[in-house]
Structure 1
Amino acid sequence: MWAYEGIFYQIYPIGFCGAPTANDGKTVSRILKLKDWSSYLESLGISSILLNPIFESDNHGYDTRDYKKIDCRLGTNKDFAEVCKDLHTHNVKIVLDGVFNHVGRGFWAFKDVLEKKWDSPYKDWFCINFDGNSCYNDGFWYEGWEGHFELVKLNLANPAVVDYLLECVKGWIDEFDIDGLRLDVAYCLDRNFMKRLRSFCQELKPDFALIGEVLFGDYNQIVNDEMLHSCTNYECYKGIYSSFNSMNMFEIAHSLNRQYGPEQWCIYRGKHLMSFVDNHDVTRIASILTNKNHLPLTYGLLLGMPGVPCIYYGSEWGEEGVKAPDNDYALRPCFDAPKPNALTEQIKKMIHVRTGSNALCHGSYRNVVLTNHQLIFERKTDDERMLVAINASDTPFTAHNGELGGTMTDLLTGNEIQMNGQLEMPPYSVQYLK
Structure 2
Amino acid sequence: MTPTIPGPGWVEHVIWWHAYPLGFVGAERAGGGPVRHRLPQLTAWLDHLLALGANGLALGPVFASETHGYDTVDHYRIDPRLGDDADMDALLAAASAKGVRVLFDGVFNHVGRGHPAFQAVLAEGPGAATASWFRLREWGPGGEPDYDDFEGHHHLVALNHAEPAVVDLVADVMNHWLDRGVDGWRLDAAYAVPSGFWAQVADRVRARHPEAYLMGEVIQGDYAALVADGRLDAVTQYELWKAVWSSLNDRNFHELAHALRRHDGFLDTFVPYTFLGNHDTTRIASRLDDPAHLEHALVVLATVGGTPSVYAGDEHAFRGVKRDREGGDDEVRPPFPATPAELSELGLPTFHRHQELLGLRRRHPWLHAARTEPLEVTNEHLSYASSAGGERLVVALSTGDAPVRLTAPGVSEVLAGDGSVDRPGAADAGVRLPQGGWAVLR
Give the TM bin, normalised by the shorter chain. Answer: over 0.9
Q: Residue 213 of structure 2: which of 209, 214, 217 is its match? A: 209
Q: How do 1:181-200 residues align onto structure 2 when only pairs under 5 Å count?
A: 181-200=185-204
| TM-score, length-scaled by structure 2 | 0.91
Are 1:354 and 2:358 matched, yes or no? no
8 Å CA contact 2:267–2:371 kept in 1: the answer is: no
Percent of aligned positions that are identical: 33
Q: Spell out, residue by residue over 1:108-159, the C-alpha distance to the aligned partner (whole angstroms, 9 max, x if none).
A: 11111111112311111111124446xxx55221111112110001111111
Counterpart pick for 2:146 among 141, 147, 158: 141
> Which residue does the alignment assign to 2:279?
280
Other-structure match for 1:21: 29
- 1:5-404 correspondence to structure 2 within 5 Å: 5-132=13-140, 138-175=143-180, 177-224=181-228, 227-260=231-264, 266=265, 268-326=267-325, 327-336=328-337, 337-338=339-340, 339=343, 340-399=347-406, 401=407, 404=409
Relative distance call for 1:218 and 1:226 in structure 2 (3 A) is closer
Contact 1:220 1:268 in 2 (8 A): no
Bigger mean CA offset, 197-206 vs 405-414: 405-414
Note if contact 1:42-1:91 (Cα within 8 Å) is conserved in structure 2: no
Over 3 Å counting, the alpha-carbon distance change for 1:226 and 1:212 in structure 2 is closer
What secondary structure sits across from 1:280 in the alignment?
coil
| Amino acid paired to 2:398 | N
Indicate if the aligned counterparts of 1:350 and 1:412 stay in contact, CA closer than 8 A: no
CA deviation vs aligned residue, 1:145-179 (integer Å, no higher than 9, x gap) = 1121100011111111211221111211122x100
Unaligned runs of 5+ in 2: 1-7
Quote the Cα distance in structure 2 between the aligned partners of 1:230 and 1:392: 31
Deviation at 1:299, TM superposition (A): 0.5
Q: Helix, strand or coil: the match of 1:375?
A: strand
| C-alpha distance in structure 2 between counterparts of 1:215 and 1:152, whole Å | 21
Per the alignment, in what secondary structure is the counterpart of residue 410 of structure 2? strand
Q: 1:82 to 1:390 in 2, by over 3 A?
A: same
In the TM superposition, what whole-angstrom CA distance separates every residue of 1:309-338 from its partner, at most 9, and x where no partner exists? 111110111100011221211110011033
Aligned length: 423
Deviation at 1:296, TM superposition (A): 1.2
Q: Which residue of 1 aligns with 2:11?
A: 3
Q: Secondary structure at the match of 1:407?
A: coil
Q: Which runs of 5+ in 1 are unaligned?
A: 261-265
Residue pair 2:195, 2:230 contacting (<8 A) in 1 also: no
Q: For the Cα contact (< 8 Å) 1:410–1:416, is it kept in 2? A: no
Task: Please give the TM-score of this superposition, normalised by the length of structure 1.
Answer: 0.93
1:1-48 CA distances to partner (integer Å, 9 max, x unpaired)? Answer: 322332111111000010001115121011111111001111111121
Query: Within 2, Cα distance between the matches of 1:10 and 1:344?
Result: 15
**Whole-angstrom CA distance in 1 between matches of 2:114 and 2:46:** 33
Deviations 1:266-320 (A, max 9, x none): 4543521111111111111111111111111110111112212111110111100
Could you say what secondary structure the match of 2:439 adopts? strand
Sort the Cα spacing of 1:226 and 1:322 in 2 relative to 1 into closer, same or farther, 3 A: closer
SS at match of 1:223: helix
Decide which of 410, 415, 433 is 1:405's aligned counterpart: 410
The 1-side partners of 2:303 and 2:143 are apart by 52
The equivalent of 1:263 in structure 2 is none
Q: Secondary structure at the match of 2:246?
A: helix
- DSSP-derived class of the 1:116 partner: helix
Relative to 1, partners in 2 of residues 1:416 and 1:82: Cα closer, same or farther, differing over 3 Å? farther
Q: 2:240 & 2:26 partners in 1: Cα distance?
A: 31
Contact 2:240 2:260 in 1 (8 A): yes
Aligned AA for 2:377? L
Distance of 1:201 and 1:411 partners within structure 2 = 41
CA distance in 2 between counterparts of 1:138 and 1:371 reads 63
The CA RMSD measured in Å over matched residues stands at 2.0
Aligned mates of 1:82, 1:210 — CA distance in 2: 23
Hey, what's the Cα distance between the residues in 2 that align with 1:7 and 1:75? Answer: 26
Deviation at 1:205, TM superposition (A): 2.0
CA deviations 1:173-219 (Å, max 9, x no partner) are: 122x1000000000111222211222222222222101111011110
Following superposition, the deviation at residue 407 of structure 1 comes to 2.1
Q: Deviations over 1:35-72 (max 9, x none)?
A: 11001111111121111110000000010000000000
Return the letter of the residue paired with 1:377.
Y
**SS where residue 62 of structure 1 aligns?**
coil
47 and 408 in structure 1: CA distance in 2 versus 1, 3 angstrom threshold: same
Contact 2:186 2:217 in 1 (8 A): yes
Letter in 2 for 1:388: V
Cα distance in 2 for partners of 1:408, 1:8 equals 29
User: SS of 1:222's equivalent?
Assistant: helix
| Structure 1 stretches of at least 4 aligned residues deviating more than 4 Å after TM superposition | 411-418
